[in-house]
Amino acid sequence: MQTLSQADRDRIAQAVADAEKTTAGEIYCVLAPEVGDDRHLPLVWAFGAALLLPALALLAGFRPEMLTRLFGGWSVGHAAAHDGAILSALLTYVGLQAATFVVVALLVAIPAVRRSLVPAPLKKARVRQAALDYFLAKDLHLTRDRTGVLIFAALAEHRVEVIADDGIYAAAPNTVWDEVVADLTAGLKRGAIADGFVAAVARTGAILAAHVPPRPGDANELPDGLTVLPR
């Protein structure tokens, strides 16, 4: 993950503080390096490949003794050695399964490959659920008048979620949050995490100012800085 400097973190915190001066809403920013835990995926794919690929090869006409001949093994030419031929074929088949398991496990263990095997709908659901869980865990739903907004980015999944509490969601049209997502996504695609969050916060502040103006006695209910979740 790209390292955020203290200056970057300060820029994001200042953007949140500036945005909240114009509204009664509260903005909370979270960056997650990765949401899903797919460490088991290499083993699942390796087991599946080890079971299926050799079997498919047999159906396609491959025979284990072909490998024996290829690598210089002796062929069986006597009926009494038939059992030995069967054993040799079985050992070759098992060896092929083991080799397939190792190769596929190592390949799928590469982070980029592993992530590419996770279906997009599952990634979307995971990030959405992680954002909702964090929204509730940090009591963003308990702000005065229910005006908390969570801006949540998951780097590994390449997903952004914006969750507005009931007080905001009822006041602002749903389509405006797509603009916030687009601003943050544009920054993340360039590798400019801080720029993305600053732009998204500024857009969120403008939306909140239009629909939830400041009120007497406002207090800063949530931290302004960016929260970076552990891997």
What is the per-residue pLDDT for 84? 58
Alpha-helix residue ranges (DSSP H) falling in the chain: 6-20, 41-59, 64-70, 82-108, 111-116, 120-137, 166-169, 176-189, 193-211
Mean pLDDT, each 10-residue run in order, the chain (231 residues): 84 95 91 79 71 74 59 51 61 77 79 75 88 89 84 93 84 84 95 95 93 80 88 76
What is the per-residue pLDDT for 122? 82
28 within 8 A of 149, measured Cβ to Cβ: yes
What is the per-residue pLDDT for 51? 76
Structural domains in the chain plus CATH codes: 6-36+119-228 (3.10.310.50), 41-116 (no CATH)
Phi-psi sector, 12: left (phi>0), alpha (psi -120 to 50), beta: alpha
pTM greater than 0.95 (yes/no): no
What is the per-residue pLDDT for 180? 94
Q: How far apart are CA 39 and CA 101, in angstroms?
A: 16
What is the per-residue pLDDT for 204? 94
What is the per-residue pLDDT for 77? 53
Rg (CA), the chain: 28
What is the per-residue pLDDT for 10? 95
CB atoms within 10 A of CB 81: 14
